[in-house]
Amino acid sequence: MKKHLNTLFVTTEGAYLKKDGQAVVVSIEKQNRLRLPLHNLDGIVCLGNIMCSPALMGACARAGVSISFLTPYGGFIAAVNGYSPGNVLLRREQYRRADDPDSTLHIARHFVSAKIANSRSVLLRAARDSRDAESKSALQSTAKLMMRNIRAARNATTLDSLRGTEGESANTYFSVFNQMMSNRVKGMEFTFRSRRPPLDRINALLSFLYSMLTHDARSACEATGLDAAVGFLHRDRPGRPGLSLDLIEEFRAFLADRLVLSLLNRKQIQARDFDVTESGAVLLKEKPRKEVLAAYQKRKQDVITHPFLNEKTTVGLLVHLQARLLARYLRGDIDDYPPFVWR
């Protein structure tokens, strides 16, 4: 895994994307502002009111570049993906496994146990770096509690009990989320996990980054030939990318949560970067949104060693590798799916 392709994020309301040869041109108020060759991209994410020419959509579909249309805050609206007739065999196998309760449970256990293990690792790393004795010990003892959840997830006998363990771990983990912040100021505390809409600033950041991660996972599924909509842990629901959501479980804490903490601890994002609406929903303003996207994109270029393949890769390619390993497992090339476990 040597190359790392880029995602183009378009956040300027009213921008128009069009095709010019084998390039995408971003035009704002009829002025061409940016021109990027398609072969350097693996995805385009349009946030807010962005228009896109049909010719560009066709070219992207052919080039394997996925386009996602999201609300300004990352809520999914629609996606353009190419026709993927190939891998009908792989997809059939995916459906067969998703229909079989034992297979589904087996695969879902991996997603959940890796999610808990990686959340636990985030707590431990933060505990190590913490200068506050109280926080340090709170983080350490919570990490200890989560050990039990990893075991429970590995041994879960039903999907419901597995989801129960997952929920319990998430509560445990988020209960000490504030302890991972160095400069706690009013209005910047984590309260409880809230989505649709996020009710505090940290939830707004988390939800935003989880959406970006989901876009990447969706592209990874498409590129691998998997059906992004048919998950194992996440039940089918029209419009919901079940398998993408399954795949991001391994990465939520490792990638998104740590990035949120870093942005806050380094004061790159502050209380004034959010709008609080009358209904209590908290939204990230436009300029800081760009800052978050730039940080996410930069983070994806960091190099780490893939724990299973033992090969250097970028953080951004991890989810692609996991999709491919899942495909290998479904196809019977390897005897089990190795989830991403950060160690």
Q: Which residues bind another protein (CB under 8 A)?
A: 1, 39, 85-87, 89-90, 110, 113, 117, 120-121, 124-131, 140, 143-144, 147, 150, 154, 180-183, 224-225, 254, 258, 261-262, 265-267, 299, 302, 304-305, 307-311, 315, 321, 324-325, 328-329, 331, 333-339, 341-343
Which CB atom, from 31 or from 310, has the smaller least distance to another protein? 310
Which CB atom, from 32 or from 141, has the smaller least distance to another protein? 141
We find the least distance from the C-beta atom of residue 48 to another protein, in angstroms, to be 29
Which CB atom, from 189 or from 336, has the smaller least distance to another protein? 336
Residue 2's nearest CA partner among 280, 303, 310, 326 is 303
We find the least distance from the C-beta atom of residue 21 to another protein, in angstroms, to be 15
- Could you give the count of Cα atoms lying within 13 Å of 119 in the half-sphere of its Cβ? 29
We find the least distance from the C-beta atom of residue 255 to another protein, in angstroms, to be 9
Which CB atom, from 138 or from 283, has the smaller least distance to another protein? 138
Which CB atom, from 207 or from 314, has the smaller least distance to another protein? 314
CA distance 273 to 43: 27
We find the least distance from the C-beta atom of residue 49 to another protein, in angstroms, to be 34
Residue 311, marked binder: no
Alpha-carbon torsion (119, 120, 125, 130), positive or negative:
positive
Which CB atom, from 33 or from 96, has the smaller least distance to another protein? 96
| Residues paired with 68 in a beta bridge | 45, 79
CA distance 136 to 105: 35
Residue 13, marked binder: no
We find the least distance from the C-beta atom of residue 325 to another protein, in angstroms, to be 6
**Token pair of 21, please?**
């040869």
Which CB atom, from 4 or from 18, has the smaller least distance to another protein? 4
We find the least distance from the C-beta atom of residue 313 to another protein, in angstroms, to be 10
Contact between 41 and 24 (Cβ < 8 Å)? yes
We find the least distance from the C-beta atom of residue 337 to another protein, in angstroms, to be 7
Instruction: Tell me whether residue 1 is exposed, middle or buried, using C-beta atoms within 10 angstroms of its C-beta: 0 to 12, 13 to 18, 19 or more.
Output: middle
We find the least distance from the C-beta atom of residue 324 to another protein, in angstroms, to be 6
Which CB atom, from 22 or from 191, has the smaller least distance to another protein? 22
CA distance 104 to 97: 6
**Token pair of 87, please?**
């891998």
Residue 249, marked binder: yes
Annotated binding site for Mn(2+): 166, 234, 249
Annotated binding site: 166, 234, 249
